[in-house]
Structure 1
Amino acid sequence: MKRLIVTTVASAALALTALNAPVATAAPGAPAGTIDFGPCTNPTLVAAGAQCGFLQVPMDYRRPHGKKIQLAVSRVKHKTPDSAFQGVMLTNPGGPGGSGLLLSTRGPRVPNHAGDAYDWIGFDPRGVGSSVPAISCDPNYMDYNRPSYVPFTPQLEQTWLNRARGYAEACRAKNDPDLLANMKTTDTVADMESIRVALRADKMNFYGYSYGTYLGQVYATQHPDRVRRMVLDSNVDVRDVWYRFNLTQDPGFDRNLNIWFGWVASHDDVYHLGKTQAAVKNVFNEQLLKLAHNPAAGVVGPDEWIDIFQQAGYYQLRWTLLGSAFANWVNKGDGATLKTLFEQFGGRGDDNGYAVYLAVECTDAQWPTNWNKWRVDNWITFTKAPYFTWQNAWFNAPCVFWPAKAGKPVNVGSRNLNSLLLIDETLDAATPYEGSLEARSRFPSASLIAEPGGTSHAITPRGDACVDNKIADYLATGTLPPRKPGRTADVECQPLPLPVPPPAS
């Protein structure tokens, strides 16, 4: 699906900026096993007092003396006396394909100064952003003028298949085949272990979001003796990596979009799009038909419209922004805002993120190579999730043709882990809640904080005291909510109240 991404709503734009920004004044090339930290150049990192550098690691850990790559790393050091130092906190924002450099600035967001005792470490995973080399395949693939997502004709279906094959072939032609063969989650987990060693940390703390929770679960499985504390927000269901996982996302996104329709209707005095969920939905569907013939601002058609409003299924914090864009298009013909939002949210120009997403997901586990299975499974899913099923299918379709051999997923779980804090909102669409319940069952030392009825994805800490204070307690003292019997959450917190739009002008 649109990448399992990323950090927080507030910092997402900055994270995208960091993909193309140099992080250190020194060129990559530090000796293997060390990070030669120096000044950063990204303004956000500079303002946080971060240090930046590169770590050299094997491209293929089975050939440690062979080709090398460079991982871009950032660090914001602890603010407490050394006597209170709690160790390094490695972070990952999700994706796969998300730049994590800015997550080293996350410490002050944890309440009660509980983050001050850690060295916060951000990094661009292999192939991502400022790491060297960075993967790219076709920078124009996510541009405007794409075929309609829903393949109602054989011609449309074949056009999309040709596009998907062409993208996979471009990835083969433009990237080192040895790197494409070593982009699995297990390779990044090995990089995480290399970072721990380079930082001379006996044990490591980790804060992972979205896909980053899968990195955390695999790391905790393979290196349980090296985990000190670990926070995983919005957990991947390890049983479904990755073909089935993407199919399970689709109904959740459609459900959350319909929840948003109801919220828009409840504020009809502001948006004037209908007083019932059904009325707002009808207006939304009318726009899909209208845009197919007359794209907004000349470029925003049905595909772009769906990409924009999928954000309503990710983050409630974006509901007011999207409500205004929807209303201003319908009531005022404002297509310029839609164009701007697509370029922020739709992936346009972020070929590196998309290429890395595929390089990881297409090789973590074998996807079906028989297109007939995709066709049947997606049309069945379409009956439950007509808005996002085929968008998601085409997003992942290059995996049918991917030019690197797939591996086998790790059998995740460990009874040797000391502690693990899991967090999830129960109507999270990108990582369905069942994934957090499954993670809890595989790690008997884990405790799960659930937010019943919440639809947002991977954005802690964000001002919900019930959740944030428990994160702070855990990071400060290792204290977890007591574990309850059965397949359930260990504590429930109410999600933040629904946003309230400003009054109509």
Structure 2
Amino acid sequence: MIALVSAAAVAASIAGFSGAQAAPAAPAVGGFTPTLSAWGECAEDIECSTLTVPLDYANPDNGKTVKLALARAAATGPASSYQGILVANPGGPGGEGRGLAGFLKGSIAGASTYDVIGFDPRGVGASVPALRCNSKYFGVNRPNYVPKTKKLLTYWLTKTKRYAQQCGRSSAAVQGLLPFMTTRDVAKDVESLRVAYQAQLASNVLTASKAPKLDALNFYGFSYGTYIAQVYATLYPTRVGRFVLDGVVDPTRWWYGGNIEQEIGFDRNINIYFKWLAAHNKTFHLGTSAKKIRKGYYAMLKKLDRRPAAKKRLGPDELNDALVSAGYYIYDWVAIGHAYSALVRRGNGNPLFRMYRDGNMGDDNGYAVYLGVQCSDVKRPTWAKQKADAVRLHKKHPFLTWNNTWYNAPCLKWPAPSRARVNVTGSGVSGKILLVSETKDAATSYSGALRVRGLFANSRLIAGIGGTTHSSSLSGVACVDNRIDAFFKTGALPARQSGRRADVNCPKLAPPSVSGSSRVSAGAWTQPLHRLLMQAQRPSVR
């Protein structure tokens, strides 16, 4: 088994890795010949490389390029069993993908016959240039997200505008990156990786027999990574091999329509979490009524607005941000419950502040790239439309509405043009696609998974019935994980059912047990793979 290697370890190693001489030239993609440096060991059982692609595929001869950081967990076994490359993306946009190489190889037995490659997309992580705008943007004790006054509305419009301006003055922007951050660009980078890797294998006498296996691409995408896969399949339909898409993006509603669905879904899911807290009153001591816990939460927001906790670092916004994770995933439900209980019962906001700090503050690369992609992918509505929608939705779904509105507001003044949306159709795709979605996923709605199933005739959908976890595969639900393993081993898909429904119904990922839990050990259930995915999605999936 391949050792599990953290994303941080791979990042530290690749930072000083330049690669040996480049392999012979690959076929051109969009008029540009991508180059892949020789692979060199950068962590245990992990090799690293860099891929040089054009900054602008429409103008590849202008001399401007982007270098993508790659990590590989190589296939094991004889060449006769080799099945090609399995490229992975953790989502975001803005998630660093290099750490997925070792994680997926260690999590899927069927992946042993693939070269599993994780990559940092353009602008992300160790890729060059990397987009960073203002690492102090997510501060402490910020004014209330809900703009009850004109002063608050002006504050947030000004703050988000300034962030967009700072991105326009960033070093990456100076190098011309911002106009070329669309998902279309990323999908073309993935094709550049495929053809460059195929050429590299063909040039080596020891691996030349493996090169034909790269006529098609295999892909594992989580969340936004599923949209990369859909755009890739639209641009290169004959190159689709075996795709697993978990937490499926609806291509017809991405981005703004997806944001609206999120605001409804997260409000539903936080109510489900409050109900779970009420069912475990003996552990959290918050009461046995979910309605009262919810009422208490909104009363706590008002209280923190008047008097922040944790040395004036935990205001209503920080509390809201800290609890958003409970709407994404069940992994940290216990830890969040203990932290929230400490605030309610003892006035101790330090545990929740640490959750906010660890999940939101620090380097802003993920947030900057999130905006760089979504502000460029498709034109958003006017501010008048967005404000009207936020006011309307907040009345019934207050948990995330204004938080999400301000999170996306820098697009109002984004210093790069919006592009035309890619029309994902599924036309001409003969490869096989396995879709995975829990039916109450708030980040990417289940209805989107059903829509994508309808677009791609050779796809199948596995549903986690009643589950609220986003991108929940490889979490130990045998009904899901065994089918993914078999799919990568043999290409086997479940039988397709008639109508607009899932092809396989599986149990949801169950919440963690509170038995024997403590404030110290709570949250330790989360496995390394899912911690990596959570870092990629939080807060960037919004």
The TM-score range, normalised by the shorter chain, is: over 0.9
SS of the aligned residue for 1:156 comes to helix
Which of 67, 74, 78 does residue 70 from structure 1 map onto? 67
Which of 4, 14, 31 does residue 23 from structure 1 map onto? 14
Alignment of 1:88-487 (within 5 A): 88-111=85-108, 113-174=109-170, 175-176=173-174, 178-200=176-198, 201-298=214-311, 299-345=313-359, 347-368=360-381, 370-417=382-429, 418-487=431-500
Aligned residues of 2:334 and 2:517 also touching (Cα < 8 A): no
Which residue type is aligned with residue 325 of structure 2? Q
Over residues 294-318 of structure 1, what are the superposed CA-to-partner deviations in whole Å (9 max), with x where a residue is unaligned?
A: 2221201110100010111001111
Q: Does 1:87 align with 2:84?
A: yes
1:24 Cα offset (Å) = 5.0
Which residue type is aligned with residue 33 of structure 1? T
Aligned residues of 1:236 and 1:436 also touching (Cα < 8 A): yes
Distance 1:20 1:379 in 2: 42
1:64 Cα offset (Å) = 1.5
Distance 1:496 1:147 in 2: 36
How many residue pairs were aligned? 484
> Which residue does the alignment assign to 1:488?
501
Over residues 24-63 of structure 1, what are the superposed CA-to-partner deviations in whole Å (9 max), with x where a residue is unaligned?
A: 53337965422322122xxxxx23x100121111101112
Over residues 249-297 of structure 1, what are the superposed CA-to-partner deviations in whole Å (9 max), with x where a residue is unaligned?
A: 1010010000000000000011110111112212222321222122221
SS of the aligned residue for 2:219 comes to strand
Distance 1:263 1:340 in 2: 23
How large is the Cα RMSD of the aligned pairs?
Answer: 1.8
Quick one: percent identity of the two aligned structures?
43
1:18 Cα offset (Å) = 6.4
1:99 Cα offset (Å) = 0.4
C-alpha spacing 1:81/1:263, structure 2 compared with 1 (3 Å): same
Unaligned runs of 5+ in 2: 23-33, 199-213, 519-542
Distance 1:29 1:193 in 2: 22
Query: For structure 1, which segment, 170-179 or 245-254, has the greater mean C-alpha deviation from structure 2 after superposition?
Result: 170-179
Query: For structure 1, which segment, 100-109 or 200-209, has the greater mean C-alpha deviation from structure 2 after superposition?
Result: 100-109
Which residue type is aligned with residue 406 of structure 1? S
Aligned residues of 1:269 and 1:504 also touching (Cα < 8 A): no
Aligned residues of 1:139 and 1:350 also touching (Cα < 8 A): yes
C-alpha spacing 1:19/1:332, structure 2 compared with 1 (3 Å): farther
Query: For structure 1, which segment, 77-86 or 190-199, has the greater mean C-alpha deviation from structure 2 after superposition?
Result: 77-86
1:450 Cα offset (Å) = 0.5
Aligned residues of 1:288 and 1:301 also touching (Cα < 8 A): yes
1:496 Cα offset (Å) = 2.7
Q: TM-score, normalised by structure 2?
A: 0.86
Alignment of 1:23-62 (within 5 A): 23=14, 25-27=16-18, 31=22, 32-40=34-42, 46-47=43-44, 49-62=45-58
Unaligned runs of 5+ in 1: 1-10, 41-45
Aligned residues of 2:439 and 2:464 also touching (Cα < 8 A): yes
Q: TM-score, normalised by structure 1?
A: 0.92
Over residues 59-85 of structure 1, what are the superposed CA-to-partner deviations in whole Å (9 max), with x where a residue is unaligned?
A: 011121220111000000012222211
Over residues 79-131 of structure 1, what are the superposed CA-to-partner deviations in whole Å (9 max), with x where a residue is unaligned?
A: 222221111000000000110010001334445x2111111100000000100
C-alpha spacing 1:14/1:337, structure 2 compared with 1 (3 Å): farther
Which residue type is aligned with residue 403 of structure 1? P
Aligned residues of 1:25 and 1:38 also touching (Cα < 8 A): no
